[in-house]
Amino acid sequence: MIAALRHGTLLLVAIMLGACGMFRSDDPVEAPAELVDFQSSLRIDRVWQASTGRGGDRLRLGLLPATDGARVFAGGHDGRVIAVDALEGTRIWQVNTRMSLAGGPAVSDDLVIFGTIDGHVIALDGATGAERWRVFVGGEVLAAPAASTRAIVVRTVDGRLIALAPLDGRRLWASDHSVPRLTLRGNSPPVITGSTVLAAFDSGRIGAYALSNGETLWEQQLAPPAGRTELERLVDINARPIVLGRDLYVVGFQGRLASLAVESGQVLWARELSSYAGVGADMSRLYIADANSEVLAASRSNGNSVWINNEMRMRDLTAPVVAGTSVVVGDLDGFLHWLSVDDGRFQARQRVGSSRVLGVLSVSDLVVAQLEDGRRAASRVRAYN
- Residue 288 binned pLDDT confidence (cut-offs 50, 70, 90): very high
* pLDDT beyond 80 at 342: yes
- Cut 0.85: pTM above it: yes
Q: How far apart are CA 194 and CA 151, in angstroms?
A: 11
* pLDDT beyond 60 at 9: no
* pLDDT beyond 80 at 10: no
pLDDT given at position 58: 57
* pLDDT beyond 60 at 2: no
| Through-space distance between the first and last CA atoms of the chain, rounded to whole angstroms | 42
pLDDT given at position 11: 38
Residue 182 CB coordination number (10 Å): 17
Q: If you average pLDDT over residues 150-173, what whole number do you get?
A: 96
Do 338 and 10 touch, CB atoms closer than 8 A?
A: no
* pLDDT beyond 60 at 170: yes
What average pLDDT does the structure give for the chain? 88
pLDDT given at position 224: 75
pLDDT given at position 156: 95
pLDDT given at position 54: 60
- Residue 382 binned pLDDT confidence (cut-offs 50, 70, 90): confident
Q: How far apart are CA 275 and CA 298, in angstroms?
A: 14
Q: If you average pLDDT over residues 238-246, what whole number do you get?
A: 93
**What is the per-residue pLDDT across 52-74, written as a single tens digit (0 to 9) for each?**
766 555 566 789 999 999 999 99
Q: Before 105, cis peptide (omega within 30)?
A: yes
* pLDDT beyond 90 at 329: yes
Q: If you average pLDDT over residues 264-289, what whole number do you get?
A: 95
Q: How far apart are CA 382 and CA 163, in angstroms?
A: 43
List the domain boundaries for the chain: 2-384
- Residue 187 binned pLDDT confidence (cut-offs 50, 70, 90): confident
- Residue 371 binned pLDDT confidence (cut-offs 50, 70, 90): very high
Do 231 and 238 touch, CB atoms closer than 8 A?
A: no
Half-sphere exposure of 342 (CA within 13 A, CB side): 2
pLDDT given at position 100: 94
Do 172 and 211 touch, CB atoms closer than 8 A?
A: no
In the beta sheet, which residues pair with residue 170?
none
Share of the chain above pLDDT 90, in %: 74
**What is the per-residue pLDDT across 110-145, written as a single tens digit (0 to 9) for each?**
999 999 999 999 999 999 999 999 999 999 999 999
* CATH code of the domain made up of 2-384: 2.130.10.10
